């Protein structure tokens, strides 16, 4: 059967599938079918008699892992059950649970999410009497995360003089102390954060070579998806696991390496040939997603990067529409024009809302487009908003279950010790925390072993604490044998959560109650899916499996029915791996995209260019880019240059004739990022004679010496009038639309063409 299926692959894809021995580098351009190649390669391995339990496939999202499993199952049947397919974090969490005692943990360790970790950091900062404005928990956690991903432990960090000097320079000399305390609290709580799953796996393999050898024997064939996104910790784990067999297949695209801020190293894929000199290389260059125009336009930009694995992506699909350049006068007008374009395609092409995506560089840019879409009654969804599992009532329910499984989980303990209200307030919790810190044990251990009198806790409150402990204890043994759904339901009911939420008849309270119902449904669904996968309906599924599953869920893994027919708004980083028929890449201005910090080094600028490449290649049918000439920055209107990336698109792929003719006059830069002398936007002032601030700003003509220009009142401007604009020249007002602060004038300028201007910013002078 598999040989017949291979007929569906193109020649290069087929070669990458059947040559499964040794080291392989599969360079997969955008939309080139990399998931299909990975899937077929694994299916081909199984068809050749390779035992499924010896195959390890590592992905970056649970969604990608599920998709691969389903496809392989359709190709070769149920043997996929014994395959090791999952995210780096889920696979290594599975290994760490098996080998936990080697590292001083129990197999029931909790996996802290970002909220938990920030809470721990915040409590440490408070205990150390540090200024939270200087030691912001999110920033401190980010610093710790980065060093962990570079395999620097708390002890090693304290001994690193260079790191200490850097922290001191940033006026945060206690980072090392916070890191050490954080590591200790996590260990006492029998908890690991996401980064620990990678760090501890490396520690396990380094200090326990017998354990490493065990997994080297198990994993004979290792495949890694999105290899360009691996960090140091992931890279070293893979390298250790493949040291014996040398059977490694990595799939990725250096042109889509955009996560250096998370620790991803493009060098991992660029230097693959150095790690595995015997490797075979396969280039998947045919794009099956996008039109020829989109692919060619993206190529014309990314070819400007110096550090890359050369390939030439192509499409044999439709030529397709040229890329639209939407030039707006203000950021509000940009939102209006993008929303209007979406409306046009909705009616003209009979498209669905979910065929559209608006991509921006930073989350803060969403507001303008949200306002514009609401005014046109276009439903939208902000991708990456609050996850279902991050909602307060869900985290409360999960905290109960976590504490039952792992009583040393301090974050779960603190969350539910007084929920529903038991009269155990902050003062009591502070005294518990102080005693726990002094004894270097968990809050649960402190509550159950230290006399309330020693901690200064009144007898009435001590009784309530004892009742809470009894409640948790009553469920601890049940967790080992009870059905996960029934256990969760009983916990939520007996804890008082269900009654508390049922009694709240406000819309918010009703929504929370419904969310708890959905939470229980998710447990039931998880059990059914696990039993179906094992083909045994009576298989016992412990609550620990469910907890681990949701601990490793990301936004990319969720797909709610109510969000499936809405325009998607998201950052370009969030859009990687997704595709839409119509994509709008907005805010294409210098200092915004690329950002002002990114243009200071060639390495950073190349990553920004890769980010733009990713944005363009998300589009299947049509890509549009937009920019605003004037935008509010910190409450001030600033003039903007269009992004250099727009100028790097070959003009033959743009549909804006005006843009194509003036683009050569826009600011460009030499290879060393210094300005060229050919700029003409500054009224002939040579670039080297301008201030650094002026080099980054278009100076409106009205700010230069000329006849005084005094605009008329907006209320006096009427349709049919001939008006003058200090930039666009003279034109005729076609119509006035909107009301209040959103009144717009549509003006047909004799030279600049038709423009839609917000009257509060337009500054028009009546000619006649």
DSSP percent split of the chain into helix, strand, coil, nearest 5:
55, 15, 30
Q: What does the alpha-carbon distance between residue 163 and residue 178 come to, in Å, rounded to a whole number?
A: 14
Q: What does the alpha-carbon distance between residue 136 and residue 590 come to, in Å, rounded to a whole number?
A: 30
Q: What does the alpha-carbon distance between residue 708 and residue 632 come to, in Å, rounded to a whole number?
A: 25
For this structure, is 53 an active site residue? no
Do the Cβ atoms of 356 and 342 come closer than 8 Å?
Answer: yes
Query: Which residue is catalytic, options 99, 113, 195, 225?
Result: 225
Measured distance between the N- and C-terminal CA atoms of the chain, rounded to whole angstroms: 78
Query: Which residue is catalytic, options 13, 256, 291, 365?
Result: 256
Q: What does the alpha-carbon distance between residue 569 and residue 588 come to, in Å, rounded to a whole number?
A: 16
Q: What does the alpha-carbon distance between residue 689 and residue 673 come to, in Å, rounded to a whole number?
A: 16
Do the Cβ atoms of 29 and 303 come closer than 8 Å?
Answer: no
Going by C-alpha positions, the residue among 435, 500, 432 that lies closest to residue 461 is 432
Q: What does the alpha-carbon distance between residue 678 and residue 676 come to, in Å, rounded to a whole number?
A: 6
Q: What does the alpha-carbon distance between residue 220 and residue 453 come to, in Å, rounded to a whole number?
A: 59
Compute how many other C-beta atoms are within 10 angstroms of the C-beta atom of residue 197.
24
Query: Which residue is catalytic, options 265, 431, 618, 622?
Result: 618
| Phi (first) and psi of residue 225, to 5 degrees | -90, 150
Do the Cβ atoms of 178 and 94 come closer than 8 Å?
Answer: no
For residue 512, CA distances in Å to 115, 370, 389, 417, 496 come to 19, 25, 12, 20, 14
Q: What does the alpha-carbon distance between residue 564 and residue 586 come to, in Å, rounded to a whole number?
A: 22
Q: What does the alpha-carbon distance between residue 94 and residue 450 come to, in Å, rounded to a whole number?
A: 35
Question: CA angle, 720 as apex, 718 and 721 as ends, to 5°?
Answer: 65
For residue 583, CA distances in Å to 298, 345, 382, 521, 586 come to 13, 12, 15, 35, 10
For this structure, is 618 an active site residue? yes
Query: Which residue is catalytic, options 167, 226, 253, 607?
Result: 226
Using DSSP bridges, classify how beta strands 729-737 and 722-725 pair: parallel, antiparallel or unpaired: antiparallel
Q: Name the helix (H) or strand (E) containing 23.
A: none
Tokens 């291979």 label which residue?
A: 6
Query: Which residue is catalytic, options 13, 34, 234, 361?
Result: 34
443 contact partners, CB below 8 Å, separation of at least 6: 410, 413, 414, 417, 432, 433, 436
**List of E strands, 275-427:** 280-284, 324-330, 356-360, 380-382
Q: What does the alpha-carbon distance between residue 360 and residue 593 come to, in Å, rounded to a whole number?
A: 9
For this structure, is 225 an active site residue? yes
Write out 292-332 in H/E/C secondary structure: HHHHHHHHHHHCCCCCCCCCCCECCCCCCCCEEEEEEEEHH
Would you say the C-alpha torsion 440, 445, 449, 453 has a positive or negative sign?
positive
Query: Which residue is catalytic, options 35, 164, 390, 668?
Result: 35
Q: What does the alpha-carbon distance between residue 157 and residue 229 come to, in Å, rounded to a whole number?
A: 25
Q: What does the alpha-carbon distance between residue 648 and residue 655 come to, in Å, rounded to a whole number?
A: 15
Q: Which two tokens stand for residue 422?
A: 């038991």
Q: Which residues are catalytic?
A: 34-35, 225-226, 256, 618
């Amino acid at each position: 059967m598999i040989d017949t299926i291979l007929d569906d692959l193109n020649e290069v894809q087929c070669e990458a599938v059947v040559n499964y021995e040794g080291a392989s580098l599969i360079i997969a351009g955008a939309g080139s079918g990399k998931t299909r190649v990975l899937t077929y390669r694994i299916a081909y391995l199984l068809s050749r008699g390779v035992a499924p339990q010896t195959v390890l496939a590592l992905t970056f999202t649970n969604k990608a892992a599920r998709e691969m499993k389903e496809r392989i199952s359709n190709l070769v049947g149920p043997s996929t059950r014994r395959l090791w397919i999952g995210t780096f974090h889920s696979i290594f969490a599975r290994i760490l649970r098996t080998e936990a005692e080697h590292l001083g943990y129990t197999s029931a360790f909790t996996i802290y999410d970002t909220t938990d970790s920030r809470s721990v950091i915040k409590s440490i900062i408070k205990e150390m009497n540090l200024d939270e404005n200087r030691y912001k928990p999110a920033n401190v956690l980010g610093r710790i995360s980065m060093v962990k991903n570079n395999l620097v432990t708390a002890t090693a960090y304290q001994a690193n003089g260079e790191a200490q000097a850097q922290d001191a320079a940033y006026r945060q000399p206690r980072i090392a102390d916070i890191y050490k305390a954080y590591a200790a609290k996590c260990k006492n709580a029998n908890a690991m954060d996401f980064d620990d799953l990678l760090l501890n796996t490396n520690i396990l393999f380094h200090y326990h070579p017998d354990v490493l050898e065990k997994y080297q024997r198990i994993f004979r064939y290792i495949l890694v998806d999105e290899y360009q996104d691996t960090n140091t910790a992931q890279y070293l784990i893979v390298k250790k696991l493949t040291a014996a067999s040398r059977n490694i297949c990595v799939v990725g695209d250096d042109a889509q390496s955009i996560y250096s801020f998370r620790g991803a190293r493009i060098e991992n894929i660029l230097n693959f040939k150095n790690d595995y000199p015997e490797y075979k290389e396969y280039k998947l260059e045919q794009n099956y997603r996008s039109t020829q125009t989109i692919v060619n336009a993206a190529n014309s930009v990314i070819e400007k990067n110096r550090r890359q694995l050369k390939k030439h992506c192509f499409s044999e699909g439709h030529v397709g529409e040229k890329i639209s350049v939407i030039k707006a006068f203000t950021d509000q007008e940009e939102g209006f024009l993008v929303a209007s374009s979406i409306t046009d395609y909705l009616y003209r092409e009979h498209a669905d809302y979910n065929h559209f995506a608006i991509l921006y560089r930073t989350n803060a840019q969403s507001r303008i487009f949200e306002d514009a879409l609401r005014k046109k009654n276009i439903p939208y969804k902000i991708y990456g908003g609050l996850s279902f599992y991050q909602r307060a009532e869900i985290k409360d329910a999960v905290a109960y279950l976590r504490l039952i499984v792992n009583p040393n989980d301090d974050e779960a303990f603190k969350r539910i010790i007084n929920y529903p209200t038991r009269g155990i307030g902050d003062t009591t919790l502070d005294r518990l925390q102080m005693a726990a810190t002094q004894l270097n044990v968990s809050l649960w251990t402190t509550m159950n072993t230290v006399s309330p009198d020693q901690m200064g806790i009144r007898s009435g409150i001590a009784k309530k604490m004892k009742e809470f402990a009894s409640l948790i204890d009553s469920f601890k043994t049940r967790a080992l044998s009870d059905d996960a759904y029934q256990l969760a339901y009983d916990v939520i009911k007996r804890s008082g959560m269900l009654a508390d939420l049922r009694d709240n008849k406000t819309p918010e309270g009703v929504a929370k109650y419904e969310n708890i119902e959905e939470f229980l449904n998710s447990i039931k669904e998880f059990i059914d899916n696990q039993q179906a996968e094992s083909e045994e309906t009576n298989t016992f599924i412990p609550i620990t499996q469910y907890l681990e599953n949701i601990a490793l869920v990301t936004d990319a893994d969720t797909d709610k029915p109510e969000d499936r027919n809405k325009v998607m708004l998201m950052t370009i980083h969030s859009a990687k791996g997704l595709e839409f028929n119509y994509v709008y890449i907005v805010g294409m201005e210098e200092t915004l995209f690329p950002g002002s910090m990114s243009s200071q080094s060639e390495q950073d600028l190349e990553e920004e260019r890769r980010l733009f490449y990713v944005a363009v290649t998300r589009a299947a049918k049509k890509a549009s880019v937009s920019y605003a000439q004037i935008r509010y920055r910190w409450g001030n209107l600033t003039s903007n240059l269009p992004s250099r990336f727009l100028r790097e698109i070959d003009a033959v792929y743009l549909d804006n004739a005006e843009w194509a003719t003036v683009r050569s006059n826009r600011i460009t830069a030499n290879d060393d990022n210094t300005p060229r002398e050919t700029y003409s936007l500054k009224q002939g002032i040579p670039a080297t004679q301008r201030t650094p601030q002026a080099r980054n700003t278009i100076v409106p003509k009205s700010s230069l010496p000329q006849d005084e220009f005094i605009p008329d009142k907006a209320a006096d401007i009427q349709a049919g009038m001939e008006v003058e604009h200090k930039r666009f020249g003279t034109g005729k007002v076609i119509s006035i639309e909107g009301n209040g602060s959103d009144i717009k004038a549509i003006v047909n300028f004799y030279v600049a063409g038709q423009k839609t201007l917000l009257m509060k910013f337009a500054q028009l002078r009546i000619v006649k």
